[in-house]
Each structure stands twice: as structure tokens, then as C-alpha cells.
Amino acid sequence: MGQTVLDFTGYRFSVLPKQLSELEKLQEQLQKYEDDRQMLEEQREQYERDRQEIEQQINGIKRQIQQLELEIKEVTMGMQQLENEIKRIQQE
């Protein structure tokens, strides 16, 4: 079984192939988690954009509802005034 020698700041350390293999696995795992984190961050940003778009649509619909309710109220008041005017004319 061979050994690999690494030089760190002037000190020599013997590293067994098993330790190098473990280091490579950990580096791969770290990269995978960093990739997953990046993907989740991108998904979170997309979710936030989608949520804001939905909020805008909801607010737009609420404004339309308020406008229609106002128009209905105005028409209803106009009809009531017409009915009152008709009753007044009929009583004359």
C-alpha cells in the first residue's frame, strides 16, 4: 500500500490513500450541497417573483370588484330615484 506525501507550509505529512479518498468524497459531497443550496436559492427567488405576481393579480381583482360594487350602488340609487320620481308623478 503506497503513501502520498503532501507538503503544507514546510511540514511534511504522510497521507494514506484512504484519507485522500475520504477527502475527495467530502469535497464531492460539499460541492453537491453547495449546488443544492444554489438551486434552492434560485427556486426561492422564483417563488418570490411568482408570489408577488399573484399578489398583484389579487389586488387588481379586488380593485375591479370595488369598482363594480360602486357602479352597482350608483345604478341602484339611480333606479331608486327613478322609482321615487315615477311614484311622485303618479300621485300628481
Backbone angles phi, psi at 16, to 5 degrees: -75, 150
Tell whether 61 is covered by a domain.
yes
pLDDT in tens, the chain (92 residues): 455 555 555 555 565 778 888 999 999 999 999 999 999 999 999 999 999 999 999 999 999 999 999 999 999 999 999 999 999 999 88
Is 12 among the domain residues? no
Structurally, the chain folds into a number of domains equal to: 1
Assigned domain for 6 exists: no
Q: Indicate the length of the chain as a whole number.
A: 92
Q: How many CB atoms lie within 10 A of CB 19?
A: 13
For residue 26, what are the domain limits? 22-91
By the 8 A CB rule, do 15 and 5 touch? yes
- Cα(53)–Cα(33) distance, integer angstroms: 30
pTM of the model: 0.59
Residue 63 lies in a domain: yes
Residue 14 belongs to some domain of the structure: no
